[in-house]
Structure 1
Amino acid sequence: MTRFHKHTLLLNADYSALAICDIYKAFLLVFLEKAEIVNAAEGEYLHTVDKAYPVPSIIKLRRYVNIPYQKVILSKSNIFKRDANQCVYCDTKKDLTLDHVLPRSRGGKSTWKNLVTACQSCNSKKGDRTPEEAQMPMRHQPFRPSFLMMLQNNGLNQNHWLPYLKSS
């Protein structure tokens, strides 16, 4: 059996983006008639003993699922994703770590608005100071990303997903 390294965009019944799942979970949702294929990967199939099924690229749930506000969990990997895996001070992508804008020793908390991605060198250079005190401007201010932004910036999207990700 061919092993796919593919993902499927999962849409709600109103075509708003819900999640990204692997093709096997997507296929199961379609097979159990809980979802329908909106777009299939061209020329790719999942095979059983006697049948071939198209690999789902985008699926839509048949029933609307009411999901209250979807929060993005504060985690190291999500901070890195928000900051495009680059140091906010020098733009390098090497030796990344987390930096507290207002250092913890001075009362800084671990929040979306106080954590940024920094390389080891810039983090050490900044030390126990704020970026202003260290004269190290950030290329953007830290913020809480939206669920949609995290879906768009996950590195998995394919061009045909974009209309669904922009409209959500």
Structure 2
Amino acid sequence: MTATLSQPVTGVSHSALVLNATYEPLCVVPVRRAAVLLLSDKAETVTIGDGFLRSARHTIPVPSVVRLNRYVKVARRRNVSLTRRAVFARDGWRCVYCEGPAETIDHVMPRSRGGAHIWENVVASCARCNHKKNDRTLTELGWRLKVPPAAPKNPLWCVLGHRTPDPRWAVWLTAA
């Protein structure tokens, strides 16, 4: 099926939340992947989104939440992947030093001084603070972090990653 969105809606996510047969959140997939699950009878629509998907033979409402018809046992990842976008999301898209808009990531203990590229050593930073800090430690500058950086602990990070959840998913994500 080659599907197209008949009514593209600006500001609305074109992703769908996938629930296990037990209504446990599993992952987020593109709307087209959710449509394939629906059309192959592997899932059912739980919550409808905005618009319709149309093909030569089918017209279905855009799914926002789908539930798999069969239970899928999933091995949970213990660690959340460290990506630039995930660091920005964890730090609220703000510079941890001056609270301005974040543009870069910074290693609290510079890598040139043995700092590792791990959650506990990476923070979001504005370009000005990152340039000012350069290759120095916070102690050398007299700076302090309000909150020490850490890996995200919320299990929803494994489902959503750095995505901002669609408000229609709230009932399923709060139960997780």
Choose which of 16, 22, 28 in structure 1 pairs with 2:30. Answer: 22
What is the rounded CA distance, in whole Å, between the counterparts of 2:175 and 2:69 in structure 1? 19
Q: Which runs of 4+ in 1 moved over 4 A?
A: none
Please give the residue correspondences for 1:48-67 in structure 2 after superposition, counting only pairs within 5 Å: 48-49=55-56, 51-67=58-74
Instruction: State yes or no: 1:99 paired with 2:106.
Output: yes
What is the rounded CA distance, in whole Å, between the counterparts of 1:51 and 1:98 in structure 2? 46
What is the rounded CA distance, in whole Å, between the counterparts of 2:73 and 2:61 in structure 1? 28
Q: What is residue 148 of structure 2 aligned with on the other side?
A: 141
What is the rounded CA distance, in whole Å, between the counterparts of 1:25 and 1:109 in structure 2? 37
| 1:119 Cα offset (Å) | 1.2
| 1:116 Cα offset (Å) | 0.7
TM-score, structure 1 length as denominator?
0.85
Q: What is residue 36 of structure 1 aligned with on the other side?
A: 44
Q: What is residue 138 of structure 2 aligned with on the other side?
A: 131
Choose which of 80, 90, 94 in structure 2 pairs with 1:82. Answer: 90
Q: What is residue 117 of structure 2 aligned with on the other side?
A: 110
| 1:28 Cα offset (Å) | 0.6
Instruction: State yes or no: 1:6 paired with 2:11.
Output: no
Instruction: State yes or no: 1:47 paired with 2:51.
Output: no
| 1:51 Cα offset (Å) | 4.1
What is the rounded CA distance, in whole Å, between the counterparts of 1:20 and 1:142 in structure 2? 26
Contact kept in structure 2, 1:10 and 1:61, CA below 8 Å: yes
Q: What is residue 174 of structure 2 aligned with on the other side?
A: 166
Identity, % of aligned pairs?
A: 35
Are the structure 2 counterparts of residues 50 and 102 from structure 1 closer, same or farther at C-alpha, using a change threshold of 3 Å?
closer
Query: One-letter code of the match for 1:164?
Result: W
Q: What is residue 154 of structure 1 aligned with on the other side?
A: 163
TM-score, structure 2 length as denominator?
0.82
Please state whether the residue corresponding to 2:141 is helix, strand or coil. Answer: coil
Query: For residues 71-90 of structure 1, what are the alpha-carbon distances to aligned partners after superposition, in whole Å with 9 as ceiling and x for unaligned?
Result: 32122222122222221111
Contact kept in structure 1, 2:108 and 2:121, CA below 8 Å: yes
Contact kept in structure 2, 1:46 and 1:52, CA below 8 Å: yes
Q: How many residues align?
A: 165
Please state whether the residue corresponding to 2:172 is helix, strand or coil. Answer: helix
What is the rounded CA distance, in whole Å, between the counterparts of 1:58 and 1:100 in structure 2? 38
What is the rounded CA distance, in whole Å, between the counterparts of 2:133 and 2:114 in structure 1? 16
